[in-house]
Amino acid sequence: MDKLEQLRLFLLRDKALQPTTVQFNLKLMRRILKDVDPLTLTNFSKFITDLIDKRRDASYINQYIVVLHYWGEVFTVPEFIEYPLYKGRDRDDYIRAILSDEEVEAFVSLTNPYPKDGVYWRRFEMWTVFWLINAYHGFRMGETVKMRKRDADFGRNVFLVSGKTGNRIVPMSFVVRDKVRNYIDNIMIGDYLFPPIHNTGLPYMKDMSWQEDFQKRIKRLAPDFPSLATRENLQPYSLRHSFGTRQADEDVSIFKIQKAMGHRRLDTTAKYIHMSLKSVQEMIDNDRLALPHKRGVDIIQSFLDFFYKAEKRYRQKVYINVQKRSKDGRKVRIDIEAIDEDKPPDKIKG
């Protein structure tokens, strides 16, 4: 009897797994047998190390280890049965990877390479909506993947999110609203927004699916963003981390960030404040040793950005005196006129 057939019967009879779960485990085992030849403990360890180096999640890696345990039980290989589960990186040493604003926008804007209306075209459109929702709302992947059609409430313009910390209502970003509506009306099939690609027995996708698509997209971006290929700990959750860090960069209230991201504990949200490098960058740039080398146009632009953000609600004429002592001792006066509500000021005098 074929070894894979023996494994299939073991999973069905001894482990009482559902047929779809059995098929999923057989798929994993086929990959192991293909990539690990011969199947020895040393070679399998190299296989797992390669997955870790590729920054795969612990849950993704452990699926392979669990099926190896099954294989060890069937063929009485104690070292396979005792192979330890991967616990992930040490949290004390773990640095959350984030993407820049430009990288996020490029990630969710990748063009669909498949013929329109085909199976793979529809699948790519599904993934695009999935990543858009996560990028602009900072949801956990497991929260997004379990959303149903009813959870996108266009009347109230909110998402109804069910997560591990309970249920919450999150306003829908205008960036994704029309794309989600079009996806539901014209592309989506069934009740769940993101049905399974593989036959897993679940009505929604498993984490292996979004892991694979994330890596495919990162590879497509690599020519334009070379640093992505070597960035430590880059994974689907990096979109969530990027969202939280962006809010911290903009000095959004920590309580608002906590509510949007669904954190139970405030100290979890505080990590995003610590991750934000914006204030540190400002400190370094304003170091008195570096300041004389800063171009005048950079100083003016920094001032305009800050002023516009804080005062754009005023439309009347505003005059500002900037007293900045330059290297040669002279002072600079900047007059800003006619603040427009919809665009930054562009008329500078002095």
Residue 162, SS3 per DSSP: strand
CA–CA gap between residue 256 and residue 271 (Å, rounded): 14
Q: Note the pLDDT of residue 197.
A: 75
Sign (positive/negative) of CA torsion 63, 64, 65, 68?
positive
Least confident of 28-32, 299-303, 307-311: 307-311
Query: How large is the average pLDDT for residues 56-80?
Result: 90
Q: Note the pLDDT of residue 338.
A: 44
- For residues 321 and 332, is the Cβ–Cβ distance under 8 A? no
For residue 166, which phi and psi values (nearest 5 degrees)?
110, -175
Q: pLDDT tens, 34-50?
A: 999 999 999 999 999 99
Architecture of domain 101-275: Orthogonal Bundle (1.10)
Task: Enter the pTM of the model.
Answer: 0.65
Beta bridge partners of 158: 153, 171
Q: Note the pLDDT of residue 111.
A: 95
Q: Note the pLDDT of residue 320.
A: 47
pLDDT greater than 70 at residue 324: no
pLDDT band at 200 (very low <50, low <70, confident <90, very high): low
The chain-wide mean pLDDT, for the chain, equals 81
Contacts 24+ apart (CB under 8 A), 270-273: 271/96, 272/241, 272/244, 272/245, 272/247, 272/248, 273/248
Q: For residues 346 and 210, which has the higher predicted lDDT (pLDDT)?
A: 210
- For residues 31 and 68, is the Cβ–Cβ distance under 8 A? no
CA–CA gap between residue 269 and residue 13 (Å, rounded): 46
Q: For residues 282 and 256, which has the higher predicted lDDT (pLDDT)?
A: 256
Determine the distance from the C-alpha atom of residue 32 to the mean position of all C-alpha atoms in its chain, rounded to a whole number: 28
In the chain, domain spans = 3-81, 101-275, 292-349
- The pair of structure tokens assigned to 39 is 């199947």
Q: Note the pLDDT of residue 349.
A: 41
Q: Note the pLDDT of residue 88.
A: 75
Q: pLDDT tens, 117-157?
A: 998 999 999 999 999 999 999 999 989 999 999 999 999 99
Q: For residues 267 and 113, which has the higher predicted lDDT (pLDDT)?
A: 113
